Homo-oligomer: A and B are copies of this chain.
Amino acid sequence: MDFPYRSALIVGTGPGISASLARRLAGFGVKIALAARNVQKLDALIRVGEPEIVVYNAGARAHGPLAELDPEAVQEAVAITAFGGFLVTQQAAKRMVPRGHGAILLTGATASIKGFAHSASFAMGKFALRGLAQSAARELGPKGIHVAHFIIDGAVRAAHRPDPADNPDSTLDPDAIAQSYVDVLRQPRSAWSHEIELRPWAERF
């Protein structure tokens, strides 16, 4: 099967999901642009051409009891996690709707569906991103644009957080996450997924 898209913009860099996804997409011949999450610079994204895939993979949080949180840090966390996702989704919609083709992938977390204590800002941002994803899917799906929201329900493996030797595969391998992103991109439009949760086999949920 040919891969249905030829170019991708991935927002939110780092050594994790974005890099694994970029490598895997490149294997299908997809041209990749990576962008940092800096919302002040999102205008620059307008210049990245006409990506057929857009991935928003940025997030931020302020941790602590409600009474101790810095309101500005909360506002910034929500801006990066959700408002940045809106800006990217909007730019994607402007380019994809006229062509009736494209995919927008938004990366959520456990906090997208469960607001934990001492994590109000992350819950606010990730819940908001999920609301955006649903609204975008209902508007853009019938226009041929596949909007999907991924709930990464567990810790992602990283250099500073290696998989524990005595509990193998208890952290999400970024390559395994990227595999599911690619699977969703390859879904025929008669059977699209909108929301996909991914968690390690031994994770409680």
Residues of A within 8 A of B (CB): 65-67, 69, 71, 74-75, 78-79, 82-83, 86-87, 89-90, 93-94, 97, 111, 114-121, 123-142, 144, 146, 157, 163, 169-173, 175-177, 179-180, 183, 186-205
Contact = CB atoms under 8 A, between A and B. Distances in A.
Q: How many copies does the complex hold?
A: 4
B83 A75 contact: yes
Contacts of A69: 90
A136 B120 contact: yes
Contact of A135 (B83, B97, B120, B205): B120
A78 B83 contact: yes
A172 B196 CA distance: 18
9 contacts: A75-B79, A75-B83, A86-B121, A115-B136, A116-B134, A124-B128, A171-B190, A179-B188, A189-B201
A82 B179 CA distance: 32
Main secondary structure of the interface of A (DSSP, over half): helix
A142 B202 contact: yes
A188 B205 contact: no
B67 A138 contact: no
Nearest to A66: B93
A38 B188 CA distance: 32
A83 B97 CA distance: 31
B135 A117 contact: yes
A49 to B, nearest CB: 17
Nearest to A152: B191
B199 A194 contact: yes
Given A116-B138, A120-B86, A190 B127 contact: no
Contacts of A189: 169, 200-201
Contacts of A86: 71, 74, 120-121, 124
B65 A139 contact: yes
Contact of A128 (B66, B127, B205): B127
